[in-house]
Structure 1
Amino acid sequence: MVLVRTGELIAAVQESGRAVGAFNVITLEHAEAIAAGAEAAGAPAILQVSENAVKFHGGRLGPIAAAVNAVARAAAVPLALHLDHITSPELLRAAHPEGFSSVMFDASKLGYGDNVKATAEAVRWGHRHGILVESELGQVGGKDGEPPLDAHAPGARTDPAEAAAYVADTGVDALAVAVGSSHAMTERTAALDHALIARLRAAVPVPLVLHGSSGVPDEEIRAAIAAGMTKINVGTALNSAFTGAVRAFLEAHPSTVDPRKYIAPGREEMAQTVERFLRVVSPCPR
């Protein structure tokens, strides 16, 4: 299957009552599991490599980029490559030569004016190189060990009027919004503000992105898509699946030293997790 562009996948699901699932890659096994899960679901997907994952690999994007490229090109379903939560201008500029067709440029921790300035500059660069640029307004919370934001904390929700102005001022192609989810949740207990999602959808002319979807129950994800979400990001759920399977194997087989023996069930559990999410996010039309 030819590697596709993120923009193509987003365009294909818009106005269809579906969304595209985007899954974070840390290791080669993550990428293999995402491809296998997408093939099992018969659905396209986005493989995301975050700035934190690049740091894990010694700050070198090239090796993990080569791995996800190879996995995506060998898959039997359309897969796209995305750089996630990028704050480094150098990493942003590495996206195009390494085969990524989209970037989430994260200036959400800056004040509003500085966020707009930095994001607009990233968008100008991205558009010159054919890169779709996503950004975030509001704070999803839970990133890098931060506690989730309280539902009523300042900045914990994205304001529709501010979002509309932000998109106009920055030119971003997709917007991650804060509507009740949080990064790094290991239990699926998040309750989303679906009325706010609908208001954002009406106010903002670009696709909306839900970060922190690992902690969102299936019915909440379906309702969020119906209200206007187009891209659904999942990361922690894969790590929980992998770690749980590896831990269970090693507890049952404590003398094992061959990593293939315990990595394989971890990879399989991640693939099943991807398949389950994709059957919610992007069900095959009947």
Structure 2
Amino acid sequence: MPLVSTGELVADARAAGRGVAAFNVITLEHAEAIAAGAEQAGAPAILQISENAVKFHGGSLSAIAAAAAAVARTSSAPLSLHLDHVTDVELMRAAHPEGFSSVMFDASKLSYDENVKATAEAVRWGHERGIWIEAELGKVGGKEGETPLDAHAPGVRTDPAEAAAYVADTGVDALAVAVGSSHAMTSRTASLDHELIAALKTAVPVPLVLHGSSGVPDNEIRQAIASGMVKINVGTALNTAFTGAVREYLAENGTGVDPRKYLGPAREAMAGTVAHFQRIFA
């Protein structure tokens, strides 16, 4: 079916009191697996391509974006394209002609005042082109190259009053918040601050986004959605499934050289992971 807009998927999920899944795309197999898993679960999904994934593909957005969009258009599931964790303004500006309906502009490493200024400019750019803009306030942590961070350390989690002022001053359409999760977790042991999530839901008028959901147990995700989370980002869990399937095949077939023999099972493993997460969010 045609690409749908991220804003529409998030608004529908918020109105229904459920979550909407946003899965990271690194390769064509990721996109195919996300579409297959969404179809299995009978649920929509957001295909998100990060700035780091673009760097992996030589710094060009076009090829991986075109591949993801082609997969989405041939899927029976409602799927959107989202550009994730963008710090490069030029990359952000490349989103519109490539068919993206949304961008997560990440100025979270800047000071609060600089974050507000940069994000407000990104919002103005986006809204002039019908692009839905997500931003981050707080320190989710865990991205490659970052210093390890305790997700519950003082000053890390998002303050509700500051979040309310930030949303008012920037005009963002959604806010990623730090509530106890962390990027790149390979074990599902994160403990979320559900009282903080509820307070943030009350404080800000826009949908809340949970980053680092791969490390959050199923019951914690369900409770987070009940407390006010709407867009739920999942990346590392797909890579864990992918790599596990490849390792298993190569361990049993040490002389194999045809990548289709292990990329096929890897894609199926990711699709199963997608379907599992989709059922949690319903």
Same-fold status (TM-score > 0.5): yes
2:185 is the alignment partner of 1:185: yes
Question: 1-side partners of 2:204 and 2:24: how far apart?
Answer: 26
Instruction: Name the counterpart of 2:4.
Output: 4
Instruction: Name the counterpart of 1:125.
Output: 125
Instruction: Name the counterpart of 2:271.
Output: 271
Instruction: Name the counterpart of 2:194.
Output: 194
Residue 181 of structure 1: CA displacement? 0.1
How many residues get paired?
282
Question: 1-side partners of 2:146 and 2:217: how far apart?
Answer: 22
Question: 1-side partners of 2:174 and 2:148: how far apart?
Answer: 23
- Aligned-partner residue type, residue 279 of structure 1: R
Conserved 8 A contact 1:190-1:216: yes
Question: 2-side partners of 1:240 and 1:212: how far apart?
Answer: 14
2:98 is the alignment partner of 1:98: yes
Secondary structure of 1:134's counterpart equals strand
Instruction: List 4+ stretches of structure 1 deviating above 4 A.
Output: none
Residue 16 of structure 1: CA displacement? 1.6
Instruction: Name the counterpart of 2:174.
Output: 174
Instruction: Name the counterpart of 1:68.
Output: 68
Conserved 8 A contact 1:32-1:71: yes
Instruction: Name the counterpart of 1:220.
Output: 220
- Aligned-partner residue type, residue 175 of structure 1: L
2:14 is the alignment partner of 1:20: no
Conserved 8 A contact 1:143-1:184: yes
Residue 148 of structure 1: CA displacement? 4.3
Q: Structure 1-normalised TM-score?
A: 0.97
2:249 is the alignment partner of 1:249: yes
Instruction: Name the counterpart of 2:79.
Output: 79
Residue 152 of structure 1: CA displacement? 4.2
Per-residue CA deviation, residues 121-171 of structure 1 (Å, 9 max, x unaligned), is 000000000000000000101011435422443431000000000000000
- Aligned-partner residue type, residue 171 of structure 1: G
Question: 1-side partners of 2:177 and 2:246: how far apart?
Answer: 34
Question: 2-side partners of 1:77 and 1:139: how far apart?
Answer: 33
Q: Please, what is the CA RMSD of the aligned residues?
A: 0.8
Residue 21 of structure 1: CA displacement? 0.1
Residue 2 of structure 1: CA displacement? 1.5
Residue 55 of structure 1: CA displacement? 0.2
2:232 is the alignment partner of 1:232: yes
Per-residue CA deviation, residues 49-78 of structure 1 (Å, 9 max, x unaligned), is 000000000000000010011000000010
Instruction: Name the counterpart of 1:134.
Output: 134
Secondary structure of 2:231's counterpart equals strand
Conserved 8 A contact 2:47-2:82: yes
Q: Structure 2-normalised TM-score?
A: 0.99
Question: 2-side partners of 1:109 and 1:192: how far apart?
Answer: 22
Question: 1-side partners of 2:125 and 2:194: how far apart?
Answer: 33
Per-residue CA deviation, residues 57-112 of structure 1 (Å, 9 max, x unaligned), is 00000000100110000000100000000000001101110000000000000000
Instruction: Name the counterpart of 1:258.
Output: 258
Conserved 8 A contact 1:140-1:148: no
Conserved 8 A contact 2:33-2:270: yes
Conserved 8 A contact 1:65-1:98: yes
Conserved 8 A contact 2:212-2:233: yes
Secondary structure of 2:96's counterpart equals coil
Question: 1-side partners of 2:155 and 2:29: how far apart?
Answer: 36
Question: 2-side partners of 1:68 and 1:152: how far apart?
Answer: 35
2:28 is the alignment partner of 1:34: no
Instruction: Name the counterpart of 1:111.
Output: 111
Residue 266 of structure 1: CA displacement? 0.5
Instruction: Name the counterpart of 1:161.
Output: 161
Secondary structure of 2:33's counterpart equals helix
- Aligned-partner residue type, residue 200 of structure 1: L
